[in-house]
């Protein structure tokens, strides 16, 4: 796949749209490579410089700090790696806005569960790749045919 320099605003928009359809990332503390684990990002359409995570106070992410997340969209047409800093979110209104049945399943004591840790990831630099294989490209690939000149995509290094 050939990735040309893409329009950062367009690629950021594709990224946020893809994340809203499938908000799952692999999150890793920068100083602990063994900490990589799947996490569900809580998104706020009006706060595209931060995402949130629910975890427990005894989880290795509880030490917070610099972190990197990797993302692959449902359709495998948008990929991203982004950096940020994990901090505890103390705004109760933000916690309640993101509280849902899926979180409740992990924390049956509700938002006041003593082991609950609500983290905000203040987002920084990101690399975003987006491309479409298309029906013909997919068929050619399934047949083992060369698709390197058929498939093109956009790439950008940007701030989220």
pLDDT at residue 54 in the model: 98
pLDDT at residue 1 in the model: 47
What are the residue ranges in the chain where pLDDT is below 50?
1
Where on the phi/psi map is residue 31: left (φ > 0), alpha (ψ -120 to 50), or beta? alpha
Say how far apart CA 69 and CA 50 lie, in whole Å. Answer: 12
pLDDT at residue 3 in the model: 56
pLDDT at residue 150 in the model: 63
The b-or-e profile of 84-101 (16+ CB within 10 A means b, else e) is: bbbeebeeeebbeebbee
Q: Which two tokens stand for residue 95?
A: 């916690």
88, 56 Cβ separation under 8 angstroms: no
**If you compute the radius of gyration of the chain from its CA atoms, what whole number of angstroms results?**
18
pLDDT at residue 154 in the model: 73
């Amino acid at each position: 796949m050939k990735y040309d320099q893409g329009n950062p605003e367009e690629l950021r928009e594709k990224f946020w749209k893809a994340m809203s359809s499938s908000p799952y990332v692999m999150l890793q503390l920068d100083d602990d490579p063994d900490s990589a684990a799947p996490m569900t990002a809580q998104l706020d359409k009006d706060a595209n410089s931060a995402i949130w995570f629910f975890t427990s106070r005894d989880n290795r992410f509880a030490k917070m700090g610099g972190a990197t997340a990797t993302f692959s969209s449902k359709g495998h047409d948008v990929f991203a790696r982004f950096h940020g800093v994990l901090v505890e979110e103390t705004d109760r209104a933000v916690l309640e806005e993101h509280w849902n049945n899926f979180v409740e399943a992990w924390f049956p004591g509700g938002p006041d569960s003593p082991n609950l840790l609500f983290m905000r990831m203040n987002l920084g630099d990101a690399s975003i790749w987006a491309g479409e294989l298309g029906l013909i490209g997919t068929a050619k690939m399934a047949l083992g045919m060369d698709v390197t000149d058929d498939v093109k995509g956009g790439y950008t290094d940007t701030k989220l």
